Amino acid sequence: MAPRLLGVSLKMYFGHERALGWCRDIAALAREHPAVRSGAVELAVMPSYLAVPEALAILDGVAVVGGQDLAAADKGAFTGEVSGAELAEIGCRVVEVGHAERRALFGETDAVVRAKTAAALRHGLTPFLCVGETDRPDDPANAADACVRQVDDALGDAADDSDGGAPIVVAYEPRWAIGAPEPAEPAYIRAVCSVLRAHVRGLTAHPGSRVVYGGSARPGLLTAVADDVDGLFLGRFAHDPAALAAILDEAHALDAQDGSADPTAAHPTASSR
C-alpha cells in the first residue's frame, strides 16, 4: 500500500520563531515515530514563505516542504510573487494551489488555479490542488461532481505544459468545514472522496495521484475515513505536536492492519535536497 500522506499548512498562524520551533518539534517526532520510519506515512509541510528555507533544512529526510501558493508566471515584473521555479530551486517538492482562502480572500479564479497548477507541474512540484464545494449540499454526490469538475478544470492547462506522468495530490477541502469546530462527517467525506479517488486514479497523465481530506481534520478522523482517502491535510489541529503524534499513531495502527508495513523500507521523502 502507498504511504499515507499527512500534509500540514501553517497558513499565517505562527510568527517566524514559532514556526521554526514547530518544525523542530515535528522533525524530532518524525525521526522517532515508527509510522514515518517505516515509510507508512509521508509528511508534507507548508510553512509561510519566509520559513521555507529553514524548514527545508530542519525537516530534511523526514518531510517534504513547500509553499502555500506560487505565482502563475515563472519570472518577471510580478511584485510580491514567488515562482514555482524558485521554490523548486531551493528544494521544495510540493506546493498548494487554489486553497479556498486564496479563492475567497484573494480572488483566485478557476483560470488562475489552472495556470498555477500548470506552473507547479512545469517545475516538478507536486500540486496540492485544493477543491471543494462552498456550501454544504444535501447530497455528497453533488459535492463529488463539483469537485471532479474542479480537478479537471484545474488540469486544463497542465497537459500541454507538463511532461505528463507527474502525480498530483487532490485536497478535498469543503469550504464550510475549514476553520470549523468539527470536520465534515466521516460518511460524507468517504462518499465524496471515494468518487474523487476513482477519478484521480483514472488520470492517465498523472499516475500515482492521491486524494486527501482537509477541513478541521483532527485526531480520530484518519481512522474513520481511511478506506476512502490517502491521507489528511491538516491545519489548526496540527499546531500541537502531540495531536500530530496521535494521528501518526493512528496511521501506524492502520498500517499494521493493512499488514503492509515494511520496517526496512526507505522513507519516500528521505532523499536530501
Ligand X SMILES: O=C(CO)COP(=O)(O)O
Return the active site residues.
Answer: 99, 173
- Residues in region 88-147 near ligand X by CB under 6 A: 99
Helix (H, G, I), strand (E, B) or coil at 247: helix
Q: Does 209 bind ligand X (CB under 6 A)?
A: no
Site string for ligand X, 52-81 (x = CB under 6 A): ------------------------------
What is the nearest approach in angstroms of ligand X to the Cβ of residue 156?
23
Q: C-alpha grid cell for residue 109?
A: 479564479
Per the DSSP assignment, residues forming a β-bridge with 131 are: 172
Contacting ligand X (CB under 6 A), which of 3, 4, 9, 225?
9
Alpha-carbon gap, residue 66 to 266, rounded angstroms: 21
148-156, 208-216, 222-230, 252-260 -> range binding ligand X (CB under 6 A): 208-216
Buried b (16+ CB within 10 A) or exposed e, 224-253: bbbebbbbbbbbbbbeebeebbebbbbbbe
Which residue spans within 73-220 are E strands per DSSP? 94-97, 126-131, 169-172, 210-214
What is the nearest approach in angstroms of ligand X to the Cβ of residue 219?
12
CA angle 10, 122, 195 (to 5 degrees): 65
Per the DSSP assignment, residues forming a β-bridge with 95 are: 67, 127
What is the nearest approach in angstroms of ligand X to the Cβ of residue 154?
16
Taking the alpha carbons at both ends of the chain, their separation in whole angstroms is 26
Q: Does 178 bind ligand X (CB under 6 A)?
A: yes
Q: Which of 107, 121, 122, 137 is nearest to 169 (CA)?
A: 121
Q: Does 166 bind ligand X (CB under 6 A)?
A: no
Nearer Cβ to ligand X, position 22 or 233? 233
Nearer Cβ to ligand X, position 15 or 179? 179
What is the nearest approach in angstroms of ligand X to the Cβ of residue 66?
12
Q: Does 179 bind ligand X (CB under 6 A)?
A: yes
18-26, 134-142, 147-155, 172-180 -> range binding ligand X (CB under 6 A): 172-180
Residue written as grid cell 499488514: 259
Q: Does 22 bind ligand X (CB under 6 A)?
A: no
Nearer Cβ to ligand X, position 39 or 231? 231
Q: Which of 55, 54, 72, 71 is nearest to 63 (CA)?
A: 55
What is the nearest approach in angstroms of ligand X to the Cβ of residue 234?
6
Nearer Cβ to ligand X, position 140 or 235? 235
Q: Which of 19, 18, 29 is nearest to 248 (CA)?
A: 29
Contact 116, 153 (CB under 8 A): no
Site string for ligand X, 212-241 (x = CB under 6 A): --xxxx---------------xxxxx----
Alpha-carbon gap, residue 188 to 100, rounded angstroms: 19
Nearer Cβ to ligand X, position 162 or 216? 216
What is the nearest approach in angstroms of ligand X to the Cβ of residue 195?
20
The CA-based dihedral angle spanning residues 245, 166, 118, 92, taken in that order and rounded to the nearest 10 degrees: 40
Binding site for ligand X (CB under 6 A): 9, 99, 173, 178-179, 214-217, 233-237
